[in-house]
Amino acid sequence: MNTDGDSVTNSSKFAEFKDLTAEELKCKANEYFKRKEYEDAIELYSMAIEKDSNNAILYGNRSFAYLKTECFGYAFTDASRAIEIDKNYIKGYYRRAEAQMANGRFKQALKDFETVVKFCPNDRDAKIKCQECKKIVNQKAFEKAISVDTLKRSVAESIDFESMTIDDTYDGPKIVDGKITKEFVEELLDTFKEEKRLHRKYAYKLILDARELFSKSKTLVDIEIPKGKKFTVCGDIHGQFYDLLNIFKLNGYPSEDNPYLFNGDVVDRGSFSVECILVLFAFKILYPNHLFIARGNHESETMNKIFGFEGEVKEKYSKQMYDLFTEVFECLPLAHCLNKKILVMHGGLFSKDNIKLDDIRNFDRFRQPPEDGLMCDILWSDPMPAEGRQPSKRGVGCQFGPDITENFLKLNNLDYIIRSHEVKDNGYEVAHGGKCITVFSAPNYCDRMGNLGAFINFNGGDELIPKYTTFKEVPHPDKKPMCYSSNLFSMM
């Protein structure tokens, strides 16, 4: 499950298979793939490719396995290699379209889907995905056309909050005198636990108030943890609301004595993203200086369109509310610095040297993430064991080695970095000689990965020594991950 760097072939684990033919290795890899042991399947496909480097099917199969592990950059490269070997290998175009689509490159994905439909006109699945992809491309072109020379009006300014009426039959939590109280938040948690909805007027209130708070935040937020005081860092939640409740059960609710930092990717994938983000917004309003949320790569329009959050908000509330969430996500800080010693951000370090903390502080974050540069790297990059830098396995951002981490820390007088962004078997991973920590808080990610979740506790002081708590998934209502995504993204 740890997907740092390139696959290592011919490991001792598969030494017994080293004399098998490429075809035999492919069959073994297929067995691992069927059991959803994707990392092992990748390794065996790689061993087969070493024996037969001009076999399009091997690259196509490995591309599919990379898609399952969210290594979309590697998946694209393998699919392209398969097409290069055999221009008539239709699955290569299909896999490449999936990889392009996962990174929001819809125009490129559309070309490959059109190729699949041309060769397989009776493939109903391909036709549906091609049509859906074309709709998105046309929609984006239309939005771009009408935005020229037009001053974009804030969604928040267009909301007529006061005119929203509340039916007498509504029996959920209520905001009295415009103030979020502890009692309101506790009732909100119980309401969501029972799969009931918060009235849209109160949901809008939470989002608008959160927008006001985050818009005043710095791009890099400095947090001081007093000596002997507790502080908790959580990684990706990904819409797994019942696992979020379990974190609170294990570690306590956010409060002035129990502050939290949620390090991005609160939404998408899991089908209770609305519940997750509204609860965290409520705690943010209640404890503005003790609940922090960083932006992740999934707090963006492109990812929300692909991985379910947009569809979920539209289903549970409205398109207008989704557009308001988009505005709030553009206000979220990109990074947090704990006691001037630990930098916490969602993805990782940078594609170029000599980036200083002031570069982050001075960055204009109020936008959708670009495809390269400082903001892209913060949201998308990953560590790797090898020295130096490599192109990202995801196709966005970069991979950075222990020397890159060491140089960045020295330049900025930091002790280590904490990031999230990647599934880890144990919920966390310590890499780069203890200088790069990954924490991931969505156990059994997407109901299929079997990983533990984790969070990190600190006691404030001169030395912030991390203490890790790991936990398993808890039961949740029968809603599959990404159940609000369109047919186009069902393979993801």
Among 238, 298, 432, 476, the one annotated catalytic? 298
Looking up tokens 């990202």 gives 392
pLDDT tens string 365-380: 999 999 999 999 999 9
pLDDT of residue 488: 60
b/e 297-314 (16+ beta carbons within 10 angstroms → b) = bbbbbbbbbbbbbbbbbe
Q: Which domains does the chain have, with CATH numbers?
A: 12-146 (1.25.40.10), 161-489 (3.60.21.10)
Q: Say yes or no to pLDDT of 3 above 90.
A: no
Of residues 7 and 40, which shows the higher confidence score? 40
pLDDT of residue 485: 85
Q: What DSSP letter does each residue of 56-92 carry, written as one string?
A: HHHHHHHHHHHHHTT-HHHHHHHHHHHHHH-TT-HHH
Q: On the CB side of 354, how many CA atoms lie within 13 Å of its CA?
A: 0
pLDDT of residue 2: 42
pLDDT of residue 440: 98
Of residues 103 and 466, which shows the higher confidence score? 466
Q: Say yes or no to pLDDT of 148 above 80.
A: no
pLDDT tens string 57-114: 999 999 999 999 999 999 999 999 999 999 999 999 999 999 998 888 999 999 999 9
Question: CA–CA separation, 51 vs 49, rounded Å?
Answer: 5
CB atoms within 10 A of CB 372: 13
Task: Kindly state the average pLDDT of the residues 465-491.
Answer: 87
Helix (H/G/I), strand (E/B), else coil: 216 = coil
Q: What DSSP letter does each residue of 392-423 carry, written as one string?
A: -TTSSSEEE-HHHHHHHHHHHT-SEEEE--S-
pLDDT tens string 407-443: 999 999 999 999 999 999 999 999 999 999 999 999 9
Task: Kindly state the average pLDDT of the residues 197-224.
Answer: 97
CB atoms within 10 A of CB 142: 10
Question: CA–CA separation, 485 vs 303, rounded Å?
Answer: 11
Q: Say yes or no to pLDDT of 9 above 90.
A: no
β-partners of residue 232 are 260, 457
pLDDT band at 12 (very low <50, low <70, confident <90, very high): low
Instruction: Reply yes or no on whether 298 is catalytic.
Output: yes
pLDDT tens string 321-348: 999 999 999 999 999 999 999 999 999 9
Task: Kindly state the average pLDDT of the residues 373-388.
Answer: 98
Give me the chain's average pLDDT, please. Answer: 93
